[in-house]
A and B are shown apart, each in its own frame.
Chain A
Amino acid sequence: MKMNLKGSLRAKLILVFLSLAIIPLLVASIFIGYFSYSNQLNQAKSVQKLIALRASEGVLSFFRNSTLELVTLIQTHELLAMNHGELDELLRLIIFGKNQFGHEPNRFLQLRILDASGATKVVASIDSPEVSEKEWSAFETDFSLVTQREALAFLGPIRYPLEIAEPLISVFLPLETYNGEDPEGYIAGLLRLQKIWGHLERFSIGFRSTVFLLNERGRVIAHPDPSVVLSGITHQLPESPGVGTGLLGGLVLENWHTINFGGQSLVIVAEQPISEVISLTLEFASTLGAVMLVAIILSGLISLWVMRDVLIPMEKLTNAIRQVGKGELFTRVYLHRNDEIGYLANQFNEMTTSLDDHSTKLKGSNLELQRMNRELDEFSYVASHDLQEPLRKLRAFGGLLLKDLENNDRERVEKDIRFITDSVNHMEKLIQDLLSLSRSSRATLSVEPVALDTCVDLALESLSLLLEERRANVVREQLPVVNGDKMQLTQVYQNLVSNAIKYHPGSPTVWISADQAELGWVFGVKDNGTGIHPDYHAQIFLPFKRLHGRSEHEGTGMGLAICRKVIERHGGKIWVESQEGEGAHFKFTIDMKGIES
């Protein structure tokens, strides 16, 4: 139970703090990351497009320049009028030498002058004549295409002759025509696409992009890495520019531009690995991760602190409540805090204090009730017993009286009647004393300042006959004025003095005194009578307890019980100090502060 409560609260607190720290960060970063990603993607798309466009321009200018060189040759020389040797020299110059456009040499693998039917008149080639013829054979069919249309220059399809490990494209230009008739001959060249690779490489470097060329069927015809071209890879472009699988695998961002030149359609593709594209996003993500880690640690620390601050006091309170539940009402919780929890603890302490007080009071009154109950029990037993005694004797002597009357035994009849009378008197006395005890318990106390001397005066007055009879001597001290009931206190003195006289075989002396003790006045009534054995000091104050045989001393044993009742109702105590044969000293206190009135 304990652990569950603690655990769940702890878990909740940790969750709250973590979510407070992380959820906003997470949401913000998802938004920022998404925008940054799409933004970078779009930007990269544009950049790749731009690269593709720039590369296209380069490719186009390569073709244009190459054809323009041939066009210039046609326009500046009367080619058909030149002999074989002159033509050969001219063509070689174009192939091997630097031309006026400053292009690098060896762009053409070979150049040919064809006649109107397409037959070769002159060949200039990088290779040996045999090889050159083999290479050409594939391109002869291209020529037929040229005749079907009228064009300044015509590019044939890109071919990969087996003999040489590079793609070639055929270029045909009609020699100068007159009167719009069919040209009298053509100049044909095998252009080396390899020479474009350098261009592509230039674009690739610096942009971290790869630029390559595809033909209409998707075959790679130019790539910064020649081996890619030679392995004859084809590449399927996606429907629209964007993220896709790259030429060499892996996720890339692609964009492209299609160019048409000389009847050919070429696609220039620029691709960039996606990791490059979103490098910023990745950087952002890693930064975010670090921030989140810090946030988690911070929130963890905060939640730990809050737990210490909240859960530990809660635990203390819970334990304390459990203690109270077990009945340990003195439990207190000391937290020394000024906040709500401190207030709670204070309230708890006030509650337990008040519970404690009430409980103590209840226990006290419970004990008092138990004691009273016990007393009442004893009292009713003793009372009924003592009341039965005279009744029993009345009955017995009544029976004997009848018998003795029958026997005419006068002496015994008188004896019987005396016992009967004694029993009746005893009964009467018992009932009177019972009433008196009951009165002393129940009668309303009329508390006023009472001069105890007056009480003693009244008591001695009512005992005057007895005092005279026994020639008793009373020694009196000056007594103070106390708060109390005059009649009842008089009764106390009367009972104590009459006891003192009764329990003395001869002429008694009674001392009445008052001493100022530490806690107040102690009043005393002392005699020089028979005294009381310490064993009986407690029980003489119970109703009906007499220590002496009935024959010796008259009484019902109620006098001291009445005294005790009166003194207790006056907030005081009564006791006796005595040894057998050494007289008795009864003492009592009175404390009427805060007692029933």
Chain B
Amino acid sequence: MTEDRGEHSAVILLVEDDPGDQELTKRALEEGRFRNDLYIVENGREALDYLYREGKYEDPASSPTPDLILLDLNMPVLGGKEVLEKLQHHPDFRQMVVIVLTTSNQETDIVRSYNLGVKSFITKPVDFNQFVQIVREVQKYWFQIVVLPPTQRCKGDG
């Protein structure tokens, strides 16, 4: 997997309704050492549509299956918690790597108490540099060390 470095750019799906946070995440990933393609959707409904390739996300070329989802919890229409529940019950996405963006410890506790298979929690940036540091750590961990399920990689490649 380490060879992926330089050959592939990781596909990241950001589910976030706040334009400010979208911008901040985008910039933090730019600061990271890994190449990545960032796709942004604004709420849980859109995130599911994206994953199921429905509506405007029909085309796999413009909507590739992500290697990693960065998920906000507090969103209109469909919240992050509901998205996690749906993914848990879907055979294709049960193993999907989801990192939850939280703004408080309370949110972390809520998701944890539901045991929704969340891999990690990232606190939304209060200090930008701190946020960048955390994003780097996560990237390193998920793209360098962890061996991801091959089917996902294939889909991602497609």
Residues of A within 8 A of B (CB): 381, 385, 388-389, 392-393, 395-397, 399-400, 403, 415, 419, 422-423, 546-552
Contact = CB atoms under 8 A, between A and B. Distances in A.
B23 A415 contact: yes
Contacts of B74: 385
B75 interface: yes
Contacts of A422: 19-20
**In the complex, which of the residues A381, A385, A389, A396 has the most CB atoms of chain B within 10 Å of its own CB atom?**
A396
Q: Which 6 A-B pairs have the closest CB atoms?
A: A549-B17, A399-B128, A393-B20, A549-B42, A547-B76, A396-B128
A550 B74 CA distance: 12
A389 B127 CA distance: 13
B131 interface: yes
A392 B124 contact: yes
Given A388-B103, A392-B103, A396-B126, A551 B27 contact: no
Given A389-B18, A396-B24, A422-B20, A549 B125 contact: no
B47 to A, nearest CB: 12
A392 B125 contact: yes
Interface string B11-40: 000000111110110010000000000000
B32 to A, nearest CB: 15
A419 B18 CA distance: 11
B104 A385 contact: yes
Contacts of B128: 396, 399-400, 403
B1 interface: no
Given A396-B127, A422-B20, A550-B19, 14 more contacts: A385-B103, A388-B103, A392-B124, A396-B125, A397-B20, A397-B24, A422-B19, A423-B20, A546-B76, A548-B77, A549-B42, A549-B76, A551-B17, A551-B19
Contact of B27 (A381, A389, A400, A548): A400
Nearest to A403: B128
A393 B103 CA distance: 11
B129 interface: yes
B65 interface: no
Contacts of A389: 18, 103
B41 to A, nearest CB: 10
Contacts of A546: 76
A381 B42 CA distance: 23
A552 B24 CA distance: 19
A194 to B, nearest CB: 132
Contacts of A393: 18, 20-21, 24
Interface of B: 17-21, 23-24, 27, 42-43, 74-77, 103-104, 106, 124-129, 131
Main secondary structure of the interface of A (DSSP, over half): helix
Contacts of B77: 547-549
A248 B79 CA distance: 124
A393 B125 CA distance: 8
Contacts of A400: 24, 27, 128
Nearest to A557: B76
A385 B19 CA distance: 17
B42 A551 contact: yes
Contacts of B18: 389, 393, 549-550
A548 B76 contact: yes
B104 A549 contact: no
Nearest to B125: A396
Nearest to A544: B74
Given A392-B103, A549-B75, A551-B42, A419 B17 contact: no
Nearest to B123: A392
A188 B75 CA distance: 162
26 contacts: A385-B74, A385-B103, A388-B104, A389-B18, A392-B103, A392-B124, A392-B126, A393-B18, A393-B21, A396-B24, A396-B127, A396-B128, A397-B24, A400-B24, A403-B128, A415-B23, A419-B19, A419-B20, A422-B20, A423-B20, A547-B76, A549-B75, A549-B76, A550-B17, A550-B19, A551-B19
Nearest to B129: A399
Contacts of B131: 396
Nearest to A551: B19
A374 B24 CA distance: 34
A19 B75 CA distance: 89
B76 A419 contact: no
Contacts of B20: 393, 396-397, 419, 422-423
B127 A399 contact: yes
Contacts of A415: 23
Contacts of B76: 546-549
Contacts of B106: 381
B107 to A, nearest CB: 9
Contacts of B42: 549, 551-552
A475 B155 CA distance: 53
A381 B73 CA distance: 15
Contacts of B104: 385, 388
Given A547-B76, A549-B75, A395 B103 contact: no
Given A546-B76, A548-B77, A395 B127 contact: yes
**In the complex, which of the residues A397, A548, A549, A551 has the most CB atoms of chain B within 10 Å of its own CB atom?**
A549
A412 to B, nearest CB: 9
Contacts of A419: 19-20, 23
Contacts of B43: 549
A560 to B, nearest CB: 14
